[in-house]
Amino acid sequence: IAGTESITGRGIKALIDGNTYFVGNRKLLKENKVTISEELNRVSERWQEEAKTISFFTDEKEVLAVIAVSDKIRESSVEAIRQLHNMGIEVHMLTGDNEQSARAISIESGIDHYKAEVLPQGKYDYIRQLQAQGRVVAMAGDGINDSQALAQADVSIAMGKGSDIAMDVAKMPIISSALTRIPE
């Protein structure tokens, strides 16, 4: 690989043997004028309706493959949200995932509000909006994409083996990925 480039909120670009390849979301396709066959488009839309996160593998011209990833919601996450609700805490989810996946996860887990296809700046802006309404905001995250929002939150929690920057920015690291640690 001659070089790779991360494209925030879109995916990655790689130069291999003089050819450019992309792995990313539909926005990446549109911005780079990459075409998708009718068949692969139907498959990707069906998987999205099943609340799967879709990535496209492409060259400079067309989609070569569609990749679907699905997360199973942990019972401990549903329990954590129930505990937070019992404490009178409203739960919001901000995710870079597609609308269908975000909606399915929020319904299944009992999340009060969600926002899908959110870039790192959008997470930060969302927290600022809640704070402008006079709310005290706690944010839990584990990645580089969460670091700006974690820094803005009144209470910031880095989860699991999060990225170094998330761990550095957070006021409270939890060396566990179990969300039930948050109500504790």
Alpha-carbon separation of residue 84 from 89, 152, 174 (angstroms) = 5, 21, 17
Measured CA to CA, the distance from residue 43 to residue 24 in angstroms comes to 16
Q: Are strands 172-174 and 63-69 parallel, antiparallel or unpaired?
A: unpaired
Of 131, 179, 129, residue with least CA distance to 155: 131
- Exposed / middle / buried, residue 48 (Cβ in 10 Å: 0-12, 13-18, 19+): middle
Per-residue confidence band for 84, with pLDDT thresholds at 50, 70 and 90:
very high
Instruction: Tell how far CA 73 is from the center of its chain.
Output: 14
Q: Which two tokens stand for residue 165?
A: 């920057």
Tokens 């679907």 correspond to 68
Instruction: Tell how far CA 28 is from the center of its chain.
Output: 16
Task: Tell me what the mean pLDDT of segment 54-83 comes to.
Answer: 91
Of 132, 135, 93, residue with least CA distance to 116: 93
- pLDDT for the residue 114: 96
Tokens 């990707």 correspond to 44
Around Cβ 53, how many Cβ atoms within 10 Å?
19
Strands, DSSP E only, in 78-148?
A: 92-94, 113-115, 138-141
| pTM, 2 dp | 0.70
CB environment 85-113: b (16+ within 10 A), e (fewer): eeeeeebbbbbbbbebbbebbbeebebee
Measured CA to CA, the distance from residue 20 to residue 41 in angstroms comes to 21
3-state secondary structure of 64: strand
- Report pLDDT digits (tens) over 136-155: 999 998 877 888 999 999 99
Task: Tell me what the mean pLDDT of segment 80-94 comes to.
Answer: 95
Written as one letter, the residue type at 23 is V
Per-residue confidence band for 163, with pLDDT thresholds at 50, 70 and 90:
low
